[in-house]
Structure 1
Amino acid sequence: MIGQALQLIDMVRRGELRWLAYLAASGLSLCVDAGLFLLLLSAGLTPVAASALGYGMGILVHWLVSSRLVFADGTAARGTSDRHRQKLFFVGSALVGLAVTTAIVGTGSLLGLDPRLAKLIAIVVSFQTTYWLRRHLVFRPDIA
């Protein structure tokens, strides 16, 4: 029992649990993103437009989960200028992720790649990019 508690403490120190929580938040956001992407794609929207709209809804879900659960210790108090800054930086990090996503899906489409495969590649690259930005820039506890 003591050994398991020490392992858990060590995981927290290394940030593994935060990464796993972020992974779960991203999974939820991805379900919204990919579900809308597939729905819009089947409705006839271009792959880039469907990807951008799906990603945009995923951003909203991700903010809600990230600011309240994943990075709660680094989220500034409501109504403060720091919280406003975090929201702007969060949207900025999402726009970086959106640019990565749409560039990969667009390039894949131009190269004749199935848009679903291009989207899968974009998911991996965008996930790592936005996690780094949010962990180190948006939700820094020393700023909150």
Structure 2
Amino acid sequence: MRALVEKLLRLRLARYMAASAAGTVIDLSGFLLLLAAGAPAVASSVASYCLGMVLHWVISSRFAFADRLAGPGLARGGQQALFALSALAGLAVTAGVVGAFEHGGADPRIGKLLAMALSFACVFLIRLTWVFRAR
């Protein structure tokens, strides 16, 4: 039984990674475009993260956690609110790390890469255990 649970978790993690990769492409592309346009690094990071989050919800709820998606109505709205709150945790990590790199005189693009890894781990655990918890 434990082997089956571990296999399912790995498959879910793989699906979540695909959703995250799609969101990351939007996030990182938007971040680089906004930086190139002269926008401040932290604001660019926050705006691009929000765009990636919207795509991430669509893919996560339909692909990675489809079996745990709440039904239409209030239940789904609550789940979407929890998803957004979990994204705020990732956003806080992202803004904090990028801001620290920028404040320290380091390249904010390197900070963004580190923030992406830290944010991924944090947010996946929150979404697995709270947002899309087994009912």
Normalised-by-shorter TM-score class = over 0.9
Structure 2 residue aligned with 1:112: 105
- The match for 1:51 among 25, 28, 45 is 45
Q: Give the length in aligned residue pairs.
A: 133
Q: When the two structures are superposed, what TM-score results if normalisation uses the length of structure 1?
A: 0.89
Structure 2 residue aligned with 1:12: 7
- The match for 1:38 among 4, 20, 32 is 32
Cα displacement string for residues 52-111 of structure 1 (whole angstroms, at most 9, x for unaligned residues): 0000000100000001110011110112x2211100000000011001100000011001
Cα displacement string for residues 18-69 of structure 1 (whole angstroms, at most 9, x for unaligned residues): 1011111101000000000000000000100000000000010000000111
Give the deviation of 1:9 after TM superposition.
Answer: 5.1
Q: 1:126 to 1:41 in 2, by over 3 A?
A: same
Which has the higher Rg, Structure 1 or Structure 2? 1
Structure 2 residue aligned with 1:3: none
Amino acid at match of 1:50: S
1:124 aligns with 2:82: no
1:68 aligns with 2:62: yes
Instruction: Tell me if structure 2 keeps the 8 A contact 1:75–1:141.
Output: no
1:98 aligns with 2:91: yes
Give the deviation of 1:127 after TM superposition.
Answer: 0.2
Amino acid at match of 1:77: G
**Consecutive unaligned residues in structure 1, runs of 5 or more:** 1-7
Amino acid at match of 2:22: L
Q: When the two structures are superposed, what TM-score results if normalisation uses the length of structure 2?
A: 0.94
Give the deviation of 1:112 after TM superposition.
Answer: 1.0
Structure 2 residue aligned with 1:82: 75
